[in-house]
Chains A and B, each alone.
Chain A
Amino acid sequence: MSEPPLVLERVSATYGREPVLREVDLEVGPGEIVGLVGPNGSGKTTLVRVASRTLRPTAGSIRVGGQDLTRMSAHDAARLVAVVPQDVVPAFTFTALELVLMGRSPYRTRWGGGGPQDWAKVREAMAATQVQHLADRPVDELSGGERRRVVLAQALAQDAPVLMLDEPTTHLDVRHVLDLLSIVRRLAEVEGTAVLAIHHDLNLAASTCDRLVALHRGAVVASGTPASVVTSALLREVYGVEADVSTDPATGRPSVRIGVPSEPAAPLGRRAHVVGGAGRGAPILRGLAEAGYDVSAGVLHASDTDADVAERLNLVRVSVPPFSAIDAEAEEACRRLMFEADLLVVCDAPFGPGNVANLRLALATARSGVQTILLEQIPIEERDFTDGEASQIWSELRSVATVARSYEELELVLR
């Protein structure tokens, strides 16, 4: 088995004294599209510059088709690695055809013009990117989308086994983004071109790349399938944002929704406690926090959706490890939160031996006079996993609490 088209081994690079790449290992196989993700300044562009021989690494090796890239002339390297830059704005007026022909320059000898081979490749590249009809048009008269396709054709004309894309879709509208990426996909499939693409948009990267490599402060922090790289933990660590990562049901690819922290309302000076679980409490936690309540939650099981949301909203919470029963200490802590609250909301979460203690606490709290609301969109019978104990407590709760049949109704009751 021969070596992959592009192999980087322990590559480091600096700008001046500032290290921008730290011992990066990376491989791109034939026909594979690898996406490079990471925030601004994480070293993505530097990595492409190093891997295309426009910047010398300070350490490590870069091999293209088994050959050491740093020992090659620029002329030879340009036959092996083609780069699609963000945009090209020529200083002088060139036609689209002239621009694409320049992609053949790595193949020309000092005195030679374009041979039949060059013309064939240029025609092929212009056909693939659908810019033949623009051939005689000056590039500075083209639209942004047309010009990007001409630049892509220029890179394709280089006929290199490795193609790098430096944020090729910035400032393009959705239609053009998809067109451009499908051309690249076809190239990878048909020609076996190894593609390394910098993407700013994580969703785009996750949905169009075979594999992702995440860079943070010049080092690789995650590498693998899109699902294994795009996680909320990575987003928090690398981008410093809170986001929900779900799986797109149509493609099976991860999909990122960045949580925009909403402006909190003026504090009401009222305490509310929520008994949740299995994500039933999440909308209520958010709603109450946004309405200005001082919200607490518990007892929750760690890594439950409600626990995640409570953590993200930075709420006071009591939690126990996953799949374990509520211990005495947690129960006592939660009892205090509940009894001190002005409002208690009990959600229609599933109740089993692990969390039925929450219901007992809620009943005691409601009986002590704390205003209590029950959410009952799902009947208790469908979520009682305690052989009747939960249903028993629930019916006693109904006698001392207000019942809401849906989230909307709950909102009305709260107002």
Chain B
Amino acid sequence: MRRAVPYRRVILGLVAGLMAAFLLGVAVGAVWIPPIETIRLIAWKLGLTARPEDVSRATEVIVFQLRLPRVLLAAIVGGALAASGAVFQGLFRNPLADPAIIGVSSGAALGAVLVIVTVGAGSLGAFAVPLAAFVGAIATAFVVYRLARIGPAVQVATLLLAGIAIAAVISSFMSLVMSFSGEEIRDIYAWLLGGLVAQGWRSVEIVSPVVILGVAGAWLVAHELNLISLGEERAAQLGVELDRLKRTSIAVGALLAAAAVSVAGVIGFVGLMTPHLLRLVIGSDHRRLVPASVLGGAILLILADLIARTVVAPSELPVGVVTALIGGPFFIYLLRREGRKAGARV
């Protein structure tokens, strides 16, 4: 497998793809808004041109109040999930790793569910749910990490096992909470399935600084993630402080996943698929993989959200259902391919 496409061209292609997906995402809906009108409106908002007089006031409201924040949020969440996936896959030296695997997503979900049940999803909850999800995600990552730490070292196998165990405990606890809940159960399900419904600008404002911080962190550990893919011992021989790298990577991956889950619920497979597909095109260097994954994840989730809100219009599918429908078969394909590769190697 020779790499035919140079990295720079891939990045340019991804940027172009992101812009196209972005304009398409804003254009499609109950009312078709031509991309050129969106561009002119944005240019006006940025102070570059005068207000385009031929664009109606209604269009302006749809673009700025409804579509734009939603598409932006999809881009940010998708980018965060994909970057988180790239970090976890690198750290665990396993292309099947995903934020969900170390229990981060379940932790976030539990936090959110507790708030929905006690406070409700309305007024106060609108702010408290993301915050609780965030706290839940970070707390879970921390607990899993501590559990996996035996003596001075954190073994990847124990980390994965601890993640699975904690996720199981959390999900049964969640079922318990839900079985005692009444009418909130619909809100809980809506949130659990993942959605980017009508969140407005506030969610964008809350998560974007966190995601930017997380992506910068992922970029910082990228080089050392390359080294650790040669094995822990070899990485140490090449100058990597293993425990520091593990701590940082888990914190960064959990931060990114928590940010995503806190506003959009559990959206699977974006973190799994994006880095994997891009690796086939640009190779495994994480310093390339992280930026490319951010762009790729953004495109993927914008398109998934587009499908989610159009296929059964005027009603909507949870976006998590769409990513699972695409990602599930992909995961099975990967699993079989990895299995064959392992079989061939032995």
Contacts and interface: CB of A to CB of B under 8 A. Distances in A.
Interface of A: 49, 52-54, 73-79, 82-83, 85, 88-95, 98-99, 102-103, 105-106, 108, 110, 136, 138, 141, 158
Contact of B236 (A74, A82, A94): A74
Interface stretch (B202-210, B222-230, B291-299): B222-230
A49 B93 CA distance: 22
B35 interface: no
B279 interface: yes
A103 B231 contact: no
Interface stretch (B73-81, B141-149, B162-170, B238-246): B238-246
B220 A92 contact: no
Contacts of B95: 91-92
16 contacts: A52-B237, A54-B233, A78-B237, A83-B237, A88-B231, A92-B229, A92-B279, A93-B279, A94-B226, A94-B284, A94-B285, A98-B226, A102-B226, A102-B238, A136-B3, A158-B238
B337 interface: no
Given A54-B233, A92-B95, A93-B283, 12 more contacts: A53-B236, A54-B236, A74-B239, A75-B239, A76-B239, A88-B230, A90-B230, A102-B238, A105-B223, A105-B238, A105-B239, A110-B220
A73 B244 CA distance: 12
B2 interface: yes
Nearest to B90: A92
Nearest to B236: A54
B1 interface: yes
Interface of B: 1-3, 90, 93-95, 220, 223-224, 226-227, 229-231, 233-234, 236-241, 279, 283-285
Contacts of B220: 110
Nearest to A83: B237
A250 B230 CA distance: 41
A364 B220 CA distance: 92
Contacts of B224: 105
A79 B237 CA distance: 10
Contacts of A141: 1
Q: How would you classify the secondary structure of chain B's contact residues: helix, strand, loop or mixed?
A: loop
Contacts of A78: 237-239
A210 B284 CA distance: 41
Contacts of B241: 73-75
B78 to A, nearest CB: 22
Contacts of B1: 93, 138, 141
Contacts of B237: 52, 54, 78, 82-83, 85
Contacts of B230: 88, 90-91, 99, 102
A83 B223 CA distance: 19
A110 B244 CA distance: 14
A36 B84 CA distance: 44
A95 B283 contact: yes
Contacts of B240: 74, 105
B227 A102 contact: yes
Given A91-B93, A93-B1, A94-B285, A106 B233 contact: no
